[in-house]
Structure 1
């Protein structure tokens, strides 16, 4: 039985959807690193505001001089206490700082924070949404400004130019935020508040679930929850001691009901993994774990919408709410923030939402005419693609990190990348070693460009951003997505899967001889001493790619156009391999600009920010055929061992570097 193929009638990913998911991911990535600050603020709010827990215990301290009153501060925006300054200044500035850092590292973060203070002081509501605008804007402007004089500043003046340029830009953006963005966002917030008031007055608040539940799956929930609902809910909570708005998105009931339906009426891996997912979602508050179950069968979004509407309706009926946001959306966090008079309503809203979601999802699953088991691994990969990064909980869904789609013995594995030149070769080398050491030497592990794939492989390993393309070429294969090519935990999971599907066994001599012959065939002269640089001068990834590419040009291995293709390759898929190593190389279309196989090596004293990861070593690759594969295999062996990486870091000569690189584990 072959692995489940991707449905031929699956809707294509439209440009609009891609743009929406990228926006949602970016907004989510600004909030998630700062959740601890939201929790701290929420706990302080629940304890010390006028209707907080401690007010009931220390009633005699309600006078303005009492310590409970001083910490809470009546009126969050008058600067009194801790509650007001945290939500007015701390939380938005943290979001702006994070947004700027996402775009342009620490310099972008500082300018993003300065820009954010402009919108914070220019508005009369918490500026979460303004911070989500000004933070990335500050980082982007700083990045563009730095690019104008990159490499043109005279030695000794770098610090002066860097500091003054960031300070002046920050000043301009702060003023722009104060007079421009702040009033606009304030007006938008007031408009949203009026819309919410209209929905409340006309008993239409449950309709918000029609927007919120689909937005969750697109990772827009943080933008809606913390950008709009939290500021509105905070104002309401300071007046009445609670707000229903804090529960519109955070209610764990709809997701719980969906997962319970899969436990009863689901099939295959989806049914088996649903109980663990339900525990993580309900008690851990990680709602994203149920997103793949929706992506498998998009019609199930109806269940979560109706469940969400039920929860909101019950809260409206009972007049219940939370004192502060429940972050993350765990039942524990929800009860921690529940107002003292709202426990019954909140409890009924959670379990009522779960009940309705369960009934509707059960009906849809039971009447589903599909006969094949749903591809949970594919849905999980799609969810990670929407999120833009590896999910910390995705391995709980498919059991073996997405490898569980393999239901037959595996004999051929291909590691696929865009050009089939560097990333796939090194990844295949690492995976081949692990498989052979586990006694599966009869399994053939190769690498290929995605454009050259045919549907003849049992298992395809690819970068997470390329998995969708690989599936189109090899729909009958099992697919595994990785991000860290050098030390991905998925490699060990593949070995475990082989033990299940293939059983144990020793590596045949022929396979071992083939591997040895492949590695011994390598020509280390493809890495000339002149192409090794011990102290690179680049300050960012783009310049490092140029530096490695120009070494290949100087060695006569490639034409100058190949360097442009290296940059084009990096724009589509990162060539960071892990363990401090990046291996930039050209696109598949640029192979006609390669004159001969060649490698270059550049070491950097200060690690370069390579899409958020530190790169100390950059190996430029130009592969005209297969004659560079053996050397790449040796280099992979070096970077798998911490001692060899330390030796590279301390090497004093280019000869020593070459000796280390060409003596990788055989």
Structure 2
């Protein structure tokens, strides 16, 4: 069996990881607003003097022109719509998104207010300032809210919330205007001067020595969104285009590499290269060629030389894009190509692909290695570096795994998250007709290396892999409705084949069911939770378990410890906080608590409307967890939980057969 890994994320350490996290944060602020960048790029192409409609807008500027006579627009500045968009709209959108990432809507509003400070206090488009002030505003708002959480007298919540956000926004806007704005402006000018120096001395192609390896190591987001996009937009505002948008987005180097594999590669790599080339060139998903480089790291030379060729041609022709091309598809590149740059851009893509193909072909043809390169292992390495599962790269190795007969869902304690996830996954697999595939759950500390496939939360995958190195690993961050479950079913169809003899629903594992009144007494059901944060919700659910005599107080501390290592958010509005494996001695008997919140709680960025505290003394809670999982997979049942008015109704819904 291939030891491939399909994962959403794995904890990593080191400088590279911090740079990756920074790049991811920058990307998460920019990518949701790419549509605004595209709109700005198209408007730029229409309205600036060098734009497509320059003839019409020359009439707009002429007081005696026919347009002015018809509409009285003689004083209209054709580029007037371009400047406000790049100066105000785009940075404020980025700041709003950054604040929202940290502290929801309140953080978004304060982040936007703070961004206005740096926007108005600078003489250049303030993208970098927005990337600083947006998250800073969200973070400050989050900390400020925490100071008086639960201490506000009833009826004064809205007053305090609004004035605290307004006053904080004012302070941060002033700070941005006088402090951050001038600093970022100076940095932007210095970075721009450095780029100008490279251009004037014909050294810009050397940036590929940094950019191409950075792409494979997933450090490109920090470079692209942190430096190239801000500098490129400033340059595009002045000249109508920027070559900087093409330094990373050029699909030529990756295309040339994949074409070389199509001709001179071997085995799975050669067979999968054509499909990867289509996805990379037309879909713009560059990461799909990264495993091909990782299989033979010396091929990075081909992408570097290809990238340098593309940059050189663009410098030679003076070509550029009006706005970022995201994703890096040839379609997106052409959509943002400035007028008069189509020839240069086309030749840069073809030249980059040609050089990359020639160098990679030479390296592959002269390669003395006799073993077929392990594309699955390279994909796993690439996904581990990326920090999350690659849906496109995973298609390259889907056929390489052997039959899967045993699956284990592993978590830290082996009771709450893993039990719930295993229940959902087991039903999906059984409904697909693979009744012979055994799905269990386990604590990571109890894993043995005899499973075919291991499912775990993305923050625990590295630990699980240490104990089960021979298994395929799948990481999830949504235990209830993760798309990874459907991918596992598809994987079973490819590796196991269709088992017509298997029952549609295999008999469930027999477990002893405790009395529901013992596990979930009415006193442990709260229909109007008062917590406003995930930490307070854990305290609220844990206190109910303590009051019911199910656990000792120390178990609540273990619930917080568990949450600090990996989120217990299940999906579909459900969180099931529970203790660590080491805290099982604090459990007196199996118990559940149920808390419903009128306003969803921000649970590590996900909305938790229902919190079910869990303390499992043995396997007797498995049947109850299975029932809860099935309830939250049905929208109608979740709606009933929202509308229930008594603890008895809640119990009837959760404990129904």
Scaled by the length of structure 2, the TM-score of the pair is 0.91
Structure 1 residues 223, 70: CA separation in 2 closer, same or farther (over 3 Å shift)? Answer: farther
What is the CA–CA distance in structure 2 between the aligned matches of 1:135 and 1:387, rounded to whole Å? 25
Q: Could you tell me which residue of structure 2 aligns to residue 429 of structure 1? A: 423
Question: Are 2:24 and 1:25 aligned?
Answer: yes
Alignment equivalent of 2:537, drawn from 544, 548, 551: 544
Secondary structure of the residue that 1:603 maps to in structure 2? strand
1:334 Cα deviation (Å)? 2.0
Question: Are 2:461 and 1:478 aligned?
Answer: no
Secondary structure of the residue that 1:485 maps to in structure 2? coil
Matches within 5 A, 1:136-147: 136-147=135-146
What is the CA–CA distance in structure 2 between the aligned matches of 1:256 and 1:427, rounded to whole Å? 39
Secondary structure of the residue that 1:323 maps to in structure 2? coil
* Partners of 2:590 and 2:617 within 8 A in 1: yes
Question: Are 2:350 and 1:355 aligned?
Answer: no
* Partners of 1:25 and 1:219 within 8 A in 2: no
1:63 Cα deviation (Å)? 3.4
Alignment equivalent of 2:392, drawn from 391, 396, 410: 396
Scaled by the length of structure 1, the TM-score of the pair is 0.89
Post-superposition CA distance 1:320-377 (Å, at most 9, x none): 223333333222232233233322221111111112222333444452737355244x
Alignment equivalent of 2:519, drawn from 514, 526, 530: 526
Q: Could you tell me which residue of structure 1 aligns to residue 189 of structure 2? A: 190
Matches within 5 A, 1:72-111: 73=77, 81-111=80-110
What is the CA–CA distance in structure 1 between the aligned matches of 2:543 and 2:594, rounded to whole Å? 11
What is the CA–CA distance in structure 1 between the aligned matches of 2:535 and 2:299, rounded to whole Å? 44
Secondary structure of the residue that 2:153 maps to in structure 1? coil
1:555 Cα deviation (Å)? 1.5
Structure 1 residues 444, 47: CA separation in 2 closer, same or farther (over 3 Å shift)? Answer: same
What is the CA–CA distance in structure 1 between the aligned matches of 2:110 and 2:346, rounded to whole Å? 44
* Partners of 1:522 and 1:627 within 8 A in 2: yes
1:214 Cα deviation (Å)? 3.3
Which moved further from structure 2: 52-61 or 333-342?
Answer: 52-61
1:387 Cα deviation (Å)? 5.2
* Partners of 2:83 and 2:237 within 8 A in 1: no
What is the CA–CA distance in structure 1 between the aligned matches of 2:266 and 2:56, rounded to whole Å? 51
* Partners of 1:381 and 1:464 within 8 A in 2: no
1:556 Cα deviation (Å)? 1.8
Q: Could you tell me which residue of structure 1 aligns to residue 337 of structure 2? A: 338
Post-superposition CA distance 1:222-273 (Å, at most 9, x none): 4433443344334444544433222222212122223333434445554444
Matches within 5 A, 1:376-391: 376=376
Alignment equivalent of 2:549, drawn from 545, 556, 567: 556
1:87 Cα deviation (Å)? 0.5
* Partners of 1:321 and 1:339 within 8 A in 2: yes
* Partners of 2:111 and 2:135 within 8 A in 1: yes
Q: Could you tell me which residue of structure 2 aligns to residue 203 of structure 1? A: 202
Structure 1 residues 527, 55: CA separation in 2 closer, same or farther (over 3 Å shift)? Answer: same
Q: Could you tell me which residue of structure 2 aligns to residue 154 of structure 1? A: 153
1:507 Cα deviation (Å)? 7.1
Alignment equivalent of 2:558, drawn from 553, 558, 565: 565
Q: Could you tell me which residue of structure 2 aligns to residue 459 of structure 1? A: 453
Structure 1 residues 508, 232: CA separation in 2 closer, same or farther (over 3 Å shift)? Answer: closer
* Partners of 1:522 and 1:628 within 8 A in 2: yes
What is the CA–CA distance in structure 1 between the aligned matches of 2:29 and 2:76, rounded to whole Å? 27
Secondary structure of the residue that 1:627 maps to in structure 2? helix
What is the CA–CA distance in structure 2 between the aligned matches of 1:561 and 1:71, rounded to whole Å? 73
Structure 1 residues 85, 617: CA separation in 2 closer, same or farther (over 3 Å shift)? Answer: same
Question: Are 2:367 and 1:374 aligned?
Answer: no
Aligned residues: 644
* Partners of 1:381 and 1:481 within 8 A in 2: no
Alignment equivalent of 1:601, drawn from 587, 590, 594: 594
Question: Are 2:302 and 1:308 aligned?
Answer: no
Secondary structure of the residue that 1:601 maps to in structure 2? strand
1:516 Cα deviation (Å)? 5.0
1:189 Cα deviation (Å)? 0.8
Structure 1 residues 435, 223: CA separation in 2 closer, same or farther (over 3 Å shift)? Answer: closer
Q: Could you tell me which residue of structure 2 aligns to residue 77 of structure 1? A: none
Secondary structure of the residue that 1:399 maps to in structure 2? helix
Consecutive unaligned residues in structure 1, runs of 5 or more:
7-11, 75-79
Q: Could you tell me which residue of structure 2 aligns to residue 173 of structure 1? A: 172
1:619 Cα deviation (Å)? 1.0
What is the CA–CA distance in structure 2 between the aligned matches of 1:523 and 1:630, rounded to whole Å? 11
Secondary structure of the residue that 1:549 maps to in structure 2? helix
Post-superposition CA distance 1:191-241 (Å, at most 9, x none): 111111111121111111222233334555444334433443344445444
1:487 Cα deviation (Å)? 2.3
1:527 Cα deviation (Å)? 2.1
* Partners of 2:267 and 2:372 within 8 A in 1: no
Q: Could you tell me which residue of structure 1 aligns to residue 401 of structure 2? A: 406
Secondary structure of the residue that 2:167 maps to in structure 1? helix
Q: Could you tell me which residue of structure 2 aligns to residue 469 of structure 1? A: 463
1:404 Cα deviation (Å)? 4.6
Q: Could you tell me which residue of structure 2 aligns to residue 618 of structure 1? A: 611
1:57 Cα deviation (Å)? 6.5
